[in-house]
Chains A and B, each alone.
Chain A
Amino acid sequence: GENVEQHPSTLSVQEGDSAVIKCTYSDSASNYFPWYKQELGKRPQLIIDIRSNVGEKKDQRIAVTLNKTAKHFSLHITETQPEDSAVYFCAASTGPPLTGGGNKLTFGTGTQLKVEL
Chain B
Amino acid sequence: SAVISQKPSRDICQRGTSLTIQCQVDSQVTMMFWYRQQPGQSLTLIATANQGSEATYESGFVIDKFPISRPNLTFSTLTVSNMSPEDSSIYLCSARDRRGYEQYFGPGTRLTVT
Contact = CB atoms under 8 A, between A and B. Distances in A.
Interface string B1-38: 10000000000000000000000000000110100000
A49 B105 contact: no
B92 A103 contact: no
A43 to B, nearest CB: 4
Contacts of B102: 34, 46, 49
Interface in B77-114: 92, 96, 100-108
B95 to A, nearest CB: 12
B107 A110 contact: no
B56 interface: yes
A103 B31 contact: yes
Interface residues of A, number: 23
Nearest to B104: A46
24 contacts: A32-B101, A34-B102, A34-B103, A36-B105, A43-B92, A43-B107, A44-B92, A44-B105, A46-B103, A89-B42, A95-B96, A95-B101, A98-B31, A98-B100, A103-B31, A103-B96, A104-B45, A104-B58, A105-B33, A105-B45, A105-B103, A107-B42, A109-B41, A110-B41
Interface of B: 1, 30-31, 33, 41-43, 45, 48, 56, 58, 92, 96, 100-108
